[in-house]
Amino acid sequence: MMSESTSDECDLVMNYSASERCAFVKRTADCSMADGMVNYLRVAFCLLPPNLTPLTITLCVIWLLVLFVILGLAASKFFCPNLSAISSTLHLSHNVAGVTFLALGNGAPDIFSAMAAISHPHTAGLAVGALFGAGIFVTTVVAGSVALVKPFAVASRPFLRDVIFYMVAVFWTFLILYRGVTTLGETLGYMSLYVVYVLTVIISSYIYNRRKNSDTNSVQNVPHIPEFSSSDSSDEDVPGLTGGTIQQDYDSEYRPLLPYSESTSEILMSSLNPVDSRKWRRKSWTWRLLKVVKTPLEVLLLLCVPVVDLDKEDKNWRRPLNCLHLITAPLLCVLVFQSGAYGEVMIQGEFPIWLLTLLLGMFLAAIVFCTTTNDQPPKYHPIFALLGFVASAVLISATASEVVSLLHMLGVVLSLSNTVLGLTLLAWGNSIGDCFSDITVARQGYPRMAIAACFGGIIFNMLFGVGLGCLAQMYKTQSSVQFGSEGLLTWILAGSLGLSLVLSFLIVPLSQFHLGRSYGIFLLVFYFVFLLIALLTEFGKIHT
C-alpha cells in the first residue's frame, strides 16, 4: 500500500484520553479526511460527549450499511440498465457487452471503492485488502455455495481460461506490491491484460458459434434444453433468462380492456413508486421488510437518475420525471463530484456554479416538456441513458469515497489495519450482492453462468480497480506510485488467493470438471481457515 511513513499521525488519537481526542483531531492536519464529504473522525470524537462515543460509532456503522445499500441500488437499478441501453444502442454483441459494459456495471462498487482507496496514501491498504479479499470471497464462498446449491459439470475451456487469466492478474498485482513501485507504462500494461482477456473471449466466442452452427444439421432431431453453458454462449441460447416473454404475458393479464391515458401528475407519482403491488403480494416478509428500508433511498435515486429500459415498449419514457431529471441529474453531479468539491465553486467569484447548472437544467426541461408527449418517447431518448450513466457513476464514486473514509475512521477507532478492514467489511459489502445473485441464478438452473460470473467479473475489478486508482494517483502527484507493505497480512492475503486459484485449477480438472457438494464444502472451509489466519495475524498471534 502506498505510504508516506510507517504510521499515520492520526492513528495516534487512541493514545490520548477520551476528553483530549476531539482537540487532537481538530489540530492535526493528518485527520482532515479531505477525500470525503464528512470528516468522520470529527464525527466520532466531537459529535457527542466522550462517554457517548460508542453510540456515535454505532450510528456510523448504521450509516455504513446505508452507504452499502446506496452502492447496490445505484449499480443494479440505474448504472447497469443504462449501460445495457448504451450497449444496445451501439449494437454491441452480447459477448463484448458482457466482458466490458456488464463487467463494469457489476463491478462498479468494487472498482470505485478501489479507486477511491488507492488514490490516497492513508487508505490504499483498503483497496488491496478489498480486491484480494473479494477475490477470495467470490472464488470460495460464492463458488462453493453455487456448487452446494446446484452440483454441475463446468464448461472446461471457459473455466480454465478465466482461472488462468485471474492467476496472471493476481501474480502481476503481487509483483507490483513486492517491488513497491509502478510506473505509467507498467500500469497501462497491467490494464491492457484485460484487453487481451476481452479479445480471447471474442475469439473463443467466434470459434464456439462456428462450431455450433456447423453441428446444427446433425442435431436437428435432438430436443434442445436451454442451458447457459459458458460465458462463450450468447444470451439467445437462454430465451427465458431475462424473463422477457414471461414478463410480457404477465403484464398482458393486467392490461386494461379499454384504452386509458394517465395524466401528467399520475405518471409522475407512479414513476416515483418503486413498489410493485403485484410482486409485493407474492414475496416473503423478509423481502418486504428489506423493501421498506430501501424504498426511501430508491425514491431519492428515481428523482435524480434517469433509467432507459429498451426491453419495455415505451423504453421507460416518463415525460414529467425525465424532464425533472434534466434538472436533478446535472445538479447531483455538480454537488457530489469529487466529494462535493465543486458545490461551492463561484464563477468569477460571484455566481455559484450549482445555480448556473440549475437554471440551464430548468431551461432544457421546459423545452423537452413542451416538445414531447406522454405516450411517445422522443428520438433522442437514448441520450437519457448517457445522462443516467454519468449521474449514477458519479453517485457511486462519491458513495465509495464515503465508504472508504468511514472505514478508515473505524480502523483508527478500533485499531485495525486498513488491509483487514478491506478484506472483511469492504469486501463483504461489495460482494454480498454478487453472492445472492449468483446463488439465485444457480437455483434457477444456470449454475454455469453463475460460476462464470464468479471468475470473469473479478478479473475486471482487480485490473481496473488497481489500474485506474494508480492512474489517478499519478495524475495528482505527476510521479510513479509508491507502495509500502503493511506486513505479513498482505502476503497472507495474496498467497491465499493464489493458493485457492491453483487448487481450483488442479482439483476441478481432476474431478472431470464436475463441481459437487464436496468441492463446495472444501471451498467454504478454505475461506474460513484463511479468515481465521488473517485475523490471528492482525491481532499479533501469528507473526514473523
What are the pLDDT tens digits along the chain (544 aa)? 444 333 457 777 888 887 888 888 888 777 776 567 788 888 888 887 878 878 888 888 899 889 888 888 887 788 878 877 887 787 765 556 656 666 666 666 777 777 777 766 666 667 777 788 888 888 888 888 888 887 878 777 878 888 888 889 888 888 887 787 788 888 888 889 988 888 888 888 778 778 777 766 555 544 444 433 333 333 333 333 344 444 444 454 445 554 556 778 888 888 888 887 777 878 878 878 888 888 899 999 999 999 988 878 888 898 899 999 999 999 998 888 766 666 677 777 777 888 888 999 999 999 999 998 888 888 888 899 889 988 888 888 788 778 878 887 888 888 777 778 777 877 777 676 667 666 766 776 767 666 776 676 778 778 887 888 888 778 777 777 776 656 777 788 888 888 988 888 898 888 888 888 888 899 999 999 998 988 888 877 776 6
Beta bridge partners of 351: 347
Q: Which residues contact 311 (CB under 8 A, 6 or more apart)?
A: 242, 244
Residue 24 in domain? yes
pLDDT value for 444? 66
Q: How many CB atoms lie within 10 A of CB 111?
A: 27
The DSSP result for 119-130, as a single string, is TSGGGHHHHHHH
* Phi, psi of 176, deg, nearest 5: -60, -45
Please report, for the chain, how many H helices and E strands are present, in that order. 23, 6
Q: Determine the Cα–Cα distance for residues 377 and 383; give it in Å rounded to an integer.
A: 11
95 lies in some domain:
yes
The residues with which 514 forms a beta bridge, in sequence order, are 153
Amino acid code (one letter) for 273:
N
Give me the torsion for CA of 149, 152, 155, 160, rounded to 10°.
70
**What residue type is 285 in one-letter code?**
W
CA quadruple 282, 285, 291, 292: dihedral positive or negative?
A: positive
For cell 463530484, what's the residue?
337
Give yes or no for a contact between 36 and 339, defined as CB atoms under 8 angstroms apart: yes
Flag whether 301 is in a domain.
no
Nine cell digits for residue 268: 409522475
219 alpha-carbon distance from chain centroid? 41
- Is 182 within the bounds of a domain? yes
User: Which pLDDT does position 123 carry in this prediction?
Assistant: 67
Predicted local distance difference test score (pLDDT) of residue 364:
94
- Residue-level pLDDT at 366: 93
Task: Decide: 72 and 296 in contact? Cβ < 8 Å.
Answer: no
Q: Which of the 8 DSSP states describes residue 488? A: H
The CATH number of whichever domain residue 483 belongs to comes to 1.20.1420.30
How far, in Å, CA of 135 to CA of 130, rounded? 8
Are 429 and 68 within 8 A, CB to CB? Answer: yes
Residue range of the domain that includes 177? 10-208+397-539
Cβ-proximal residues to 415 (8 Å cutoff; 6+ apart), any chain: 14
Total domains in the chain come to: 1
Query: Among 320, 330, 328, 332, which Cα is nearest to 303's?
Result: 328
In a domain, 354, yes or no: no
DSSP string covering 304-342:
H-----TTSTTTT--HHHHHHHHHHHHHHHHHHTTTTTT
Q: Are 449 and 441 in contact (CB under 8 A)?
A: yes
Query: Is 350 among the domain residues?
Result: no
CB atoms under 10 Å from CB of 528, counted, come to: 11
Strands 181-182 and 514-515, by their bridges, are unpaired
The answer to the question of residue 487 being in a domain is: yes
pLDDT of residue 460: 78
391 belongs to a structural domain: no
Which among 230, 234, 237 is positioned nearest to 95, based on CA atoms? 234
Provide the 3-class DSSP secondary structure of residue 352.
Answer: strand
Residue with cell 481538530: 26
7 burial level (CB within 10 Å; 0-12, 13-18, 19+): exposed
Q: Which residues touch 517 (CB under 8 Å, ≥6 apart)?
A: 147, 148, 151
